[in-house]
Amino acid sequence: MRIYRANNYQELSRKAANIISAQVIIKPNCVLGLATGSSPIGTYKQLIEWYNKGDLDFSEVKTVNLDEYRGLGKESDQSYVYFMHHNLFDHINIKPENINIPDGKNPDAVAECARYDKVIEDVGGIDIQLLGIGRNGHIGFNEPGSAFEKNTHCVDLTESTIEANKRFFASIDEVPRQAYTMGIRSIMHAKQVLLIASGEDKAEAIYKSFWGPVTPEVPASVLQLHPNVVLVADDAALSLVK
């Protein structure tokens, strides 16, 4: 694993965007695995800036997002499909048909999860997977549990995740209780994993994930077994690491 320590969120975002742009430049038809949440917003802003300068071309890039709230679709400004359009896709020249996100509006969980696994297979796997990390060590919405869930699945969000995500909703009651998420197998099959973490509230999750035992109780700890992980984190998120 390579670790880049950043002084602040801006530096972290720039470094993460550097790594993603290198991928897009080297392989213009690459598959980017993307995440939502507050962590990648700065990275996306930086990519948009470089795109506007003419330094990046997304016309052949394909994307697969990690997850989506079950029940939400693009008409909801809390949905991840809305987030991705608002924070990235609407500002770059990606083709709509090259964008893939689990369909939160599909009520048939079994069908939706199978469809999404097929999507990941059909794009030929992920070249670089961008990840944030939950305070409980979740990646995507792979929550702590007794086993690593391999494939795309429908998950009951934990109290800690509902609590952490309520900031995006009018009230905690509006936070969906379930989500569709890519499984650990697809994340682990990505050729490269880029995990970004900012702030002190991520310090424990980072420490346990990369310096503790590999256990489904801390889902991100499985990344210790991945051959090509880059961790870009600020001082606060690395504060428990000697």
* Residue choice 35, 120, 231, 238 for contact with ligand F6R (CB under 6 A): 35
Please tell me whether residue 36 binds ligand F6R under the rule CB under 6 A: yes
**Side chain identity at residue 117, one-letter code:** D
Q: How far apart are CB 112 and ligand F6R at their closest, in Å?
A: 16
Q: Does 137 bind ligand F6R (CB under 6 A)?
A: no
55/156 with CB nearer ligand F6R? 156
Cβ 53 to ligand F6R shortest distance, Å? 26
Tell me if residue 143 is catalytic.
yes
42 binds ligand F6R (CB under 6 A): no
The smaller minimum CB distance to ligand F6R, of residues 15 and 138, is found at: 138
Q: Which residues of 86-105 are buried (b: 16+ CB within 10 A; e: fewer)?
A: ebbbebbebeeebbbbbbbb
CA distance 213 to 222: 9
Q: Which of 112, 127, 143, 149 is catalytic?
A: 143
Q: Is 186 in the site for ligand F6R (CB under 6 A)?
A: no
Residues 65-84 within binding reach of ligand F6R (CB under 6 A): 66-67
How far apart (Å, rounded) are the C-alpha atoms in residues 32 and 65?
8
Integer Cα distance of 52 and 136 in angstroms: 36
Return the structure tokens found at 106: 């599909």
Residues 125 and 238: their CA atoms lie apart, in Å, by: 30
Q: Calculate the CA dihedral of residues 157, 162, 13, 213 and round it to 10 degrees.
A: -50
- As annotated, the active-site residues are 67, 136, 138, 143
**Which residues sit at the interface with ligand F6R, rule CB under 6 A?**
35-39, 66-67, 132-134, 138-141
